[in-house]
Amino acid sequence: MELRTAIRQRRAVRDYTQEPVSAATLRELISAASWAPSAMNEQPWHFTVVTEAALLDEISSRSKEWMLKGVAAMPRPGHFRDLLADPDFHIFYHAPALIVLSVPGDGQWGAEDCALAAQNLMLAAVDQGLGTCWIGFAQGWLNTGEGHNVLGLPRQSRVVTPIIVGYPKTAPPPVARKAPLITWIGTMAAPPEPEPPPGASNGTLIHP
């Protein structure tokens, strides 16, 4: 798949089939993530793969309980309170796999390094016909001592990116993109907007 196509097709997927993702495929995604740039080439990331449904259910439940304690400080607290209190809401959307990127300690650029690796992983998933979603709801509880124990992480670790992986039930709808705000500094004249690739319009992929 052409890189530009993968970039435009990537979506946050929240509806998955129960078809498992093979260990070999998950390993390919992690390999792609590990080729991301990192500060000082430290490559600090650690990947934890969870495919046990019961454990994913437990992490979802514990994360919801943890977030509800601080929901008053969140934007749109009423919306999030209703969502997190709903027993049928699963923060991982019953995806068959979770890949957690973490870093040791409080390194200065650990979050940036993991975010770069996560983008590689998510683009590689598109190429495999897979969907992904970064689940911010899981980060808080997974960074507690209990969360670290569940993942088998050292206490000083920091969870940065919990990403679910699975086969989408349907193609996510197109998402319009705002024109980027660009300031050109120098003598170079601003070029025209690049032409979208085949099958795209105004920067938005058109799904069949």
Q: Which domain, by its residues, includes 91?
A: 3-173
Quick one: pLDDT at residue 107?
Answer: 80
Q: What is the pLDDT of residues 120-171, one digit of tens each?
A: 999 999 999 999 999 999 999 999 999 999 999 999 999 999 999 999 999 8
Residue 192 lies in a domain: no
Helix and strand tally (H, E) in the chain? 7, 6
Quick one: pLDDT at residue 190?
Answer: 79
Residue 201 lies in a domain: no
> pTM of the prediction?
0.89
Please tell me the distance from the alpha carbon of residue 90 to that of residue 26, in angstroms, as a whole number: 22
Residues in the chain, pLDDT under 50: 201-208
Residue 186 lies in a domain: no
Quick one: pLDDT at residue 199?
Answer: 52
Total of domains in the chain:
1
Residue 204 lies in a domain: no
Residue 195 lies in a domain: no
Place of tokens 């973490």: 102
Residues 99, 163: contact at Cβ < 8 Å?
yes
Quick one: pLDDT at residue 198?
Answer: 58
Q: Alpha helices, DSSP H only, in 41-105?
A: 53-68, 77-85
Residue 181 lies in a domain: no
Quick one: pLDDT at residue 112?
Answer: 97
As a whole number, the mean pLDDT across the chain is 91
Residues 111, 160: contact at Cβ < 8 Å?
yes
Quick one: pLDDT at residue 203?
Answer: 43
- What CATH number has the domain bearing residue 21? 3.40.109.10
Per-residue tokens: 134: 């970064």
Residue 141 lies in a domain: yes
Quick one: pLDDT at residue 205?
Answer: 38
Residue 62 lies in a domain: yes
